[in-house]
């Protein structure tokens, strides 16, 4: 699905079904440097359960035009422009990693458009190692290798190559997209205040072996949100929607249908 926001093309993968305004909508938001591709094992599954499903590419990512947005706050406002353009209400927002910060800030700014929130492998604060930022700003491919080392329980298990390398595969992708995203995460400071404002049903999904957002940090996040539900996936790292897609999507569906 392609539409325009601020005269720039925006791409959202919709499982080939478009939008039916009579249905609830699930919006999937990717992490730093990535694209809609990471949700491929989730998108069709939820679409087959009678939801509109939109896996968005942020500006400059995947098939969307423009430059990468430099702040989480700016992304939240861009999302509101997207939802207005598509006439979407009562949204179920699913974010992974950086996407968690985006839906956290969005929910604080635009709570009336929210139905349910689902945080996958995220926290209210996500400081980024300065060495990783420096490597990414220089376009060094070692930054992607570090992401894989920290992001997976075992990155050597991917037959045919790691999907992250297929998305971030040039020095431009690294310096103009990944680096911008990493700095946006590092600079975000509204998370704890925004978490305390959440009043809608909320699900947290964490990987037991996540090195980027360890369980202790994740639980501190979930404890800030009243009446939330937490599910921990065993033998799983940070890239939950790739490593343990089947278990994750089943828990998401169970939560959405409550």
CB burial readout 69-81, b (16+ within 10 A) else e:
beebbebbebbee
pLDDT tens figures, 74-127: 999 999 999 999 999 989 999 999 999 999 999 999 999 999 999 999 999 999
Statement: the pTM of the whole predicted model exceeds 0.85: yes
H-only helix segments in the chain: 40-47, 72-85, 98-109, 130-137, 142-151, 163-167, 171-172, 179-187, 191-197, 215-223, 240-243, 245-256
CATH of the domain at 248: 3.40.50.1820
Residue 183 belongs to some domain of the structure: no
Instruction: Please state, as a whole number, how many other Cβ atoms lie within 10 Å of the Cβ of residue 107.
Output: 22
The token duo for 212 is 């980027």
CA distances from 152 to 121, 146, 147, 180 (A): 12, 10, 8, 22
Residue 137 belongs to some domain of the structure: no
The token duo for 130 is 């300065």
For the chain, what is the domain count? 1
Q: What mean pLDDT, rounded, does the chain reach?
A: 93
Task: Calculate the dihedral angle through the C-alpha atoms of 48, 97, 58, 103, rounding to the nearest 10 degrees.
Answer: 80
Spatial separation of the C-alpha atoms in residues 221 and 81, rounded to whole Å: 27
Q: Identify the pLDDT of residue 88.
A: 95
Q: Is pLDDT above 60 for 36?
A: yes
Label residue 146 exposed, middle or buried (CB < 10 Å: 0-12, 13-18, 19+): middle
| Pick from 174, 158, 194, 176: nearest CA to 76 | 194
pLDDT tens figures, 47-72: 999 999 999 999 999 999 999 999 99
Q: Identify the pLDDT of residue 158.
A: 56
Domain around 192: 2-126+188-256
Q: Is pLDDT above 70 for 249?
A: yes
Residue 8 belongs to some domain of the structure: yes
> With pLDDT > 90 as the criterion, what percentage of the chain qualifies?
83
DSSP letter at 12 equals E
Residue 134 belongs to some domain of the structure: no
Q: Identify the pLDDT of residue 156.
A: 53
Q: Is pLDDT above 90 for 136?
A: yes
Residue 158 belongs to some domain of the structure: no
Residue 149 belongs to some domain of the structure: no
Residue 78 belongs to some domain of the structure: yes
> With pLDDT > 70 as the criterion, what percentage of the chain qualifies?
96
Residue 142 belongs to some domain of the structure: no
pLDDT tens figures, 144-170: 888 877 777 665 555 455 677 778 889
Spatial separation of the C-alpha atoms in residues 117 and 221, rounded to whole Å: 13
Q: Identify the pLDDT of residue 154.
A: 64
């Amino acid at each position: 699905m392609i539409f325009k926001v601020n005269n720039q093309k925006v791409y959202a993968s919709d499982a080939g079904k478009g939008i039916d305004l009579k249905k609830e909508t699930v919006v999937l938001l990717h992490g730093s440097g990535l694209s809609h591709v990471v949700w491929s094992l989730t998108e069709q599954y939820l679409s087959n359960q009678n939801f509109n499903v939109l896996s968005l590419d942020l500006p400059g990512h995947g098939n969307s035009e423009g430059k990468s947005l430099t702040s989480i706050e700016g992304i939240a406002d861009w999302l509101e422009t997207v939802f207005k353009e598509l006439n979407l209400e009562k949204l179920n927002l699913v974010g992974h990693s950086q996407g968690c910060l985006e839906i956290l800030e969005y929910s604080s700014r635009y709570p009336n458009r929210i139905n349910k929130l689902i945080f996958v492998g995220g926290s209210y604060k996500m400081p980024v190692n300065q060495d990783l930022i420096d490597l990414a700003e220089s376009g060094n491919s070692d930054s992607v290798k570090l992401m894989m080392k920290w992001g997976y329980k075992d990155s050597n298990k991917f037959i045919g190559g790691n999907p992250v390398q297929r998305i971030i595969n040039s020095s431009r992708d690294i310096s103009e997209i990944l680096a911008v995203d990493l700095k946006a995460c590092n600079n975000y400071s509204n998370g704890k205040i925004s978490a305390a404002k959440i009043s809608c049903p909320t699900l947290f999904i964490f990987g037991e072996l996540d090195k980027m957002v360890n369980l202790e940090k994740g639980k501190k996040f979930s404890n800030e949100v009243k009446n939330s539900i937490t599910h921990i996936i065993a033998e799983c790292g940070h890239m939950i929607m790739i490593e343990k897609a089947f278990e994750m999507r089943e828990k998401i569906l169970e939560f959405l249908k409550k």
